Structure 1
């Protein structure tokens, strides 16, 4: 039998204070709801999520962004506690924390165990919560609830058909019910489909996953196309992109670098502010245009001339609104980071220089 509906008359809301919208990470992760964090295999999404859990428990920043303070539960079906321990040691060392201070962070590993939280009921055509789901909620309730719950990963915890829209919506609905009842923010980690990786959207094959959550993030490697070849300028750099957020702006990006076992912001102080995000976007657009121009045999220069890269790029239809000044700053930053170089080309009697992507262990050629 269905539960009775709770109906509120709109007029009864008159005169009552408007409840503020809560966010766990401003503009990226809404509080009290479910966020999907996608990432290709090996990109480091589990590490990034663990850093979020540490930041929540310690009241520190997460990749340069302020985070709501509170207790956190990190549930992993992929890694053993020993691996989480190693990662925690690296995170705490970077943050200047002691593991003994992490009393507000709990860890549970289901690696090698049955980790399914919900299975498909073939007769009813619905998703049914497993005893493990009930045990998880009992644990959460018994420990005074958690501000943040990280679930790693969807493939291990979901026992339905991933491409079945109804199964996807119901599973997210079950997690959202848990988030509402326990006043928690849930971050669910997942792998994108091959098409999601190829398109850059980071989604799975079923759009119901993205449609059912309030926020969707995608952690991806930074690649460039150089002719027919796809290269990775810096294998330690990742971009965390906001692909969907119901109550904020889509398209925000944070560039991070893997350093000493931890992700850190890529040399951008105050990474959460709009100026820093614009700088990151300008670098991305500069690299994208450089790759396209190089593939077409259209070379640009770092010296003021008719081929001066900032002047050429700001007039391109794919400039995404980046100004000449923005491209100039991006170019200087990319040179300083060693991600682009000046490359000689042409006849020996008339050598010229063009901007090129730095190729590791590869000599510059004509």
Structure 2
């Protein structure tokens, strides 16, 4: 490479130096682009997109599942994988039955197995099907990564590790590969667009296309990015994480409420956001699927009952009367909504059905009852109070 230098004038207070005046342009060799004729489109429709989880996780593509560090991405990914393995619809999303490979680079296998046991219990999945169709690759115990950065002849680049080669070989015959997570898998500069594109498109994306499978890649974002979604585009630091994935979903959470947002897919319309809740064991479940008398419904109702009991206890401690009226400005829902013990998912119009369903369950169980009282204007009214049984239940909830 022919370099020419020129002497620069000395700046006041600076030492003398030289500057690069001209750099001979250098070309980088790559494979030639493929020419594609578009005259005959009669067979084009056979390449319509296919999904493992429709429409949020397409086959032959990399889907990015983003969220901040403690929102529950790993648990959610395991829930989705377990439903694919057991051929069971998850919430509003139909699944294609298939084999699932869960690559854990963050949590050791024992933690993954514990979570799967909770998922099987909460959703009443078939453990035999799960064992047959879901396999865990534990890379966390050996600090494995899938891509390593090194200095090549011309610039920094990344190379496939032995763990990635193992993953690529093992992927044959699988329908969904889940990688938890990007920051552990990608041992390179996350701010380099070029390196990120190579990892997502050429390594993970090529593995998806060659084996006709879907890849779900979990990625951390900061809480501001999680709250504002794609507008922040701060996936690990480079917009290439945002742009290289052809499909993207985001798990956001605030004050106990979870929302799964379908933020991007190049081949279909985006699905509307769905609200999730956590069971007492932390298993995420769709709210709309938890109103049908299933295990999810039982778990959601149990959580809501506990929240109402805790809010009733807080109201009693504050000396606040909880009126039993079902309309007007002093309904139980409006009164208890002033206490932090009642989650936002049970407040306002959106939480009305769940609130009253749980309150009726409390009354049926004998933990909350209505009794007469006289107002300051000597009017007879009814108020809700915790019974002795309710106070015992609250004490059990408060115990460590």
TM-score normalised over the length of structure 2? 0.62
Change (3 A) 1:8 1:263: same
Aligned-pair CA distance for 1:154: 0.6
Which one of 92, 98, 109 corresponds to residue 138 of structure 2?
109
Match of 2:261 in 1: 241
Alignment partner, residue 156 of structure 2? 125
Give TM-score, length-normalised by structure 1.
Answer: 0.67
Instruction: Give deviations 1:320-347, integer Å, cap 9, x for gaps.
Output: xxxxxxx9953633653789xxxxxxxx
* Counterparts of 1:80 and 1:129, CA distance in 2: 22
> For residues 4 and 58 of structure 1, what CA distance do their matches in structure 2 show?
43
How does 1:124-143 map onto structure 2 within 5 Å? Answer: 124-141=155-172
- Tell me if the contact between 1:63 and 1:256 (Cα under 8 Å) persists in the aligned partners: no
Deviation at 1:195, TM superposition (A): 4.2
Change (3 A) 1:6 1:194: same
Structure 2 counterparts to residues 95-106 of structure 1, below 5 A: 95-102=123-130, 103-106=132-135
In the alignment, what sits opposite 2:383? none
**For the structure 1 residues 247 and 36, does the alpha-carbon distance in structure 2 shift closer, same or farther, using more than 3 Å as the test?**
same
Instruction: Spell out, residue by residue over 1:254-283, the C-alpha distance to the aligned partner (whole angstroms, 9 max, x if none).
Output: 111111432222145699xxxxxxxxxxxx
Q: How many residues are matched?
A: 276
Mapped partners of 1:121, 1:37: distance in 2: 27
Q: Which residue number in structure 1 is paired with residue 47 of structure 2?
A: 19
Residue 210 of structure 1 corresponds to 242
Once the two structures are TM-superposed, the CA of residue 198 in structure 1 deviates from its matched residue by: 5.3
Whether the aligned pair in 1 keeps the contact of 2:55 and 2:271 (CA below 8 Å) is no
Shift of 1:247: 2.2
Unaligned runs of 5+ in 2: 1-28, 293-325, 330-346, 360-375, 378-393, 395-400
Take 2:125 and 2:229, find their aligned partners in 1: how far apart are those partners?
A: 36
Instruction: Tell me if structure 2 keeps the 8 A contact 1:63–1:263.
Output: no
Q: Could you tell me how far apart the structure 2 residues matched to 1:177 and 1:170 are? A: 10
Q: CA deviation at 1:48?
A: 0.6
Q: Computing the radius of gyration over CA atoms, which structure comes out larger, 1 or 2?
A: 2
> Quick one: structure 1 residues 196 and 168, their matched pair in 2 at CA, closer, same or farther if it must change by over 3 Å?
same
